[in-house]
């Protein structure tokens, strides 16, 4: 049995409607029966099908999952409604004018009556746009004010976000955790809110943090601290993007936010607090790693590597991606990235280390043990 209203049901309904349309003889396409059946499907199923596609989209502002995003969604609907009404009014008047006063045979060429000024019309096209602008301004100001002045509960999670070319650094000061590119936060229960407050700054140039389903954009600027908060109400992966051009690799400076259940987040925190796991299988790779310039840029807890210019690699094997979310983490992809970072991310600041095949394989094996 397929649950009513599920995505599978919607796909079946759409398939049946299209099959019905294709199977009917051309002579029947205009019959009332077919018209009624297709119209009924459009009215009842098409909106749900559209909602399903929006929900599945990972970066749609029309599928909000946090309080700030819900506010932005409501404001967007208001703006779209007003703009749609304006478009329909203007287009309708234009269409009426084109049809009503089109050229017809037998019409004599004469100049139409001239109207010199109309107080009513001039007031209308002045007052109405002013009122529309005032409404949009007040609605936007309200959303900004409510979002920025929301009281911070004592249960809030604090995360320091630092933008780099071209990756994200995440620090959890109260938990003693430092990680990169994949942000883990707990979901927030409306009964017991646990929002996440992101304190942002940049280590180099201007960036912009934007996860559309959780909140609006916020600039990440050097020598300035900006703060935003998010409170996802459903577990899942929420994708975002650096929304400010920050250099040649701006397009691949992606954002991955994992909203975990309280139990999953607690387990993740426990893992991150442990030192990087060291196994005998990775001993040779660790020696190569510590003997090369890797330690100047990267940190691996429990080793001599304490670099701060590149992502923290202490638990890199527990992540889903590398290269700021642009490359899935597999042994083959990691090996290729170490060998030639510029191939996956042209313009990346990490240099090619020019390791021989033995050392390259050893370092790759070592990094894949860092859970």
Look up the CATH number of the domain holding residue 187: 2.60.40.420
In a domain, 113, yes or no: no
Select from 255, 266, 120, 113 the least CA-distant residue to 187: 266
What is the full per-residue pLDDT of the chain (371 aa) written as tens digits?
444 444 544 444 454 444 444 444 444 444 455 445 555 555 555 455 454 444 545 788 899 999 999 999 999 999 999 999 999 999 999 999 999 888 777 777 777 777 787 888 889 889 999 999 999 999 999 999 999 999 999 999 999 999 999 999 999 999 999 999 999 999 999 888 999 999 999 999 999 999 999 999 999 999 999 999 999 999 999 999 999 999 888 999 999 999 999 999 999 999 999 887 777 777 898 999 989 889 899 999 988 889 889 999 999 999 999 999 999 999 999 999 999 998 888 888 898 888 999 999 999 999 999 98
φ and ψ at residue 294, rounded to 5 degrees: -55, -40
DSSP H or E run through 10: helix 7-23
Q: Residue 354 gets which letter from DSSP?
A: -
Considering the domain architecture, whether residues 245 and 336 belong to the same structural domain is answered as no
Q: How many domains does the chain have?
A: 3
> 153, 154, 172: which is closest to 162 by C-alpha?
172
Cα torsion 268, 270, 276, 281: sign: negative
Pairing of strands 218-220, 182-186: unpaired
Residue 218 belongs to some domain of the structure: yes
Spatial CA neighbour of 345 closest among 366, 368, 327: 327
Q: Residue 2's closest CA among 10, 41, 45, 16?
A: 10
Q: Give burial (CB, 10 Å; 0-12/13-18/19+) of 62.
A: middle
CA atoms within 13 A on the CB side of 292: 19
Indicate whether 25 belongs to any domain: yes
Nearest by Cα to 166 from 225, 243, 227, 251 = 251
The answer to whether residues 311 and 353 belong to one domain is: yes
Asked if 80 and 191 sit in the same domain, the reply is: yes
- For residues 355 and 339, the answer to whether their CB atoms sit within 8 Å is yes
In a domain, 270, yes or no: no
109 falls within a domain = no
pLDDT at 8: 46
- Residue 44, pLDDT score: 59
Consecutive H or E run containing 180: strand 177-180
201 shares a domain with 71? yes
Residues 78 and 35 in one domain: no
In a domain, 145, yes or no: yes
Which residues does residue 260 pair with via DSSP β-bridges, in sequence order?
A: 186
Structural domain includes residue 150:
yes
pLDDT confidence of residue 39: 52
Containing structural domain, residue 74: 59-88+119-259
Residue 120 to residues 81, 125, 126, 251: CA-CA distances in angstroms? 25, 9, 10, 51
Residues 137 and 28 placed together within one structural domain of the fold: no
């Amino acid at each position: 049995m397929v649950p009513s209203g599920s995505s599978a049901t919607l796909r079946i309904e759409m398939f049946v409607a299209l099959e019905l349309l294709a199977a009917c003889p051309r002579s029947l396409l205009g019959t009332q029966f077919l018209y009624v059946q297709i119209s009924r499907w459009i009215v009842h199923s098409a909106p749900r099908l559209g909602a399903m596609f929006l929900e599945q989209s990972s970066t749609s502002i029309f599928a909000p999952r946090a309080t700030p995003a819900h506010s932005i969604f409501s404001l967007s609907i208001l703006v779209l409604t007003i703009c749609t009404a304006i478009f329909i009014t203007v287009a309708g008047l234009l269409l009426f004018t084109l049809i009503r006063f089109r050229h017809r045979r037998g019409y004599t060429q004469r100049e139409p009556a001239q109207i010199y000024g109309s107080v009513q019309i001039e007031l209308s096209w002045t007052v109405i746009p002013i009122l529309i602008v005032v409404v949009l301004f007040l609605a936007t100001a309200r959303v900004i004010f409510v979002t920025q002045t929301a009281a911070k509960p004592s249960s809030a999670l604090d995360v320091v976000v630092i933008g780099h070319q071209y990756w994200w650094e995440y620090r959890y000061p109260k938990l003693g955790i430092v990680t990169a590119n994949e942000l883990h936060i707990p979901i927030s229960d409306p009964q017991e809110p646990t929002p996440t407050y992101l304190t942002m700054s940049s280590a180099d140039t201007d960036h912009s943090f934007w996860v559309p389903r959780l909140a609006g954009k916020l600039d990440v600027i050097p020598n300035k601290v900006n703060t935003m908060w998010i409170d996802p109400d459903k577990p899942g992966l929420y994708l975002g993007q650096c929304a400010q051009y920050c250099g040649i690799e701006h397009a691949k400076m992606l954002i991955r936010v994992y909203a975990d259940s309280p139990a999953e987040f607690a387990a993740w925190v426990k893992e991150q607090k442990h030192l990087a796991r060291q196994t005998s299988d990775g001993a040779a790779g660790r020696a190569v790693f510590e003997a090369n310039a890797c330690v100047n840029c990267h940190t691996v807890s429990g080793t001599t590597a304490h670099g701060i210019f590149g992502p923290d690699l202490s638990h890199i094997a527990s992540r889903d991606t590398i290269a700021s979310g642009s490359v899935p983490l597999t042994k083959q992809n990691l090996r290729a990235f170490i060998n030639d970072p510029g191939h996956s991310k042209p313009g990346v600041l990490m240099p090619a280390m020019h390791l021989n095949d033995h050392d390259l394989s050893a370092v790759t094996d070592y990094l894949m043990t860092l859970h």
